[in-house]
């Protein structure tokens, strides 16, 4: 498995991440932003995902999958709709 650091996620901008809830269908998220922590510091940083299909997730830890990164656990927090697209947004914070 890849290291979960800012550089790894920055290389995955625009890619799809599949969230696997404990029940229900998988949810597709797109990684749209990786925070700009001062270089060369890798932490803290944040990730922002959009749910283009309008899927609603509650705040909790989910198993997430990306084609290049494989499966890993990620704590996601809903942060409301994007003001322009109205897509729901989710944030993950690494510190």
Closest residue by Cα to residue 45 from 61, 27, 32, 33: 33
Under 8 Å CB-to-CB from 58, ≥6 apart: which residues? 78
Which residues face 71 on adjacent strands? 65
List the chain pLDDT tens, one digit each, 95 residues. Answer: 567 888 899 999 999 999 999 888 999 999 999 986 555 655 689 999 999 877 889 999 999 999 999 999 999 999 988 888 888 999 999 88
């Amino acid at each position: 498995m890849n290291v979960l650091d800012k550089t790894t996620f920055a290389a995955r901008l625009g890619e799809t991440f599949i969230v696997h809830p404990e029940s229900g269908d998988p949810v597709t998220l797109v990684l749209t932003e990786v925070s700009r922590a001062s270089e060369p510091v890798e932490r803290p940083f944040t990730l922002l995902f959009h749910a283009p299909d309008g899927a609603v997730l509650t705040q909790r830890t989910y198993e997430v999958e990306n084609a290049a990164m494989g499966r890993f656990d990620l704590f996601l927090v809903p942060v409301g709709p994007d003001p322009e697209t109205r897509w729901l947004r989710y944030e993950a914070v690494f510190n």
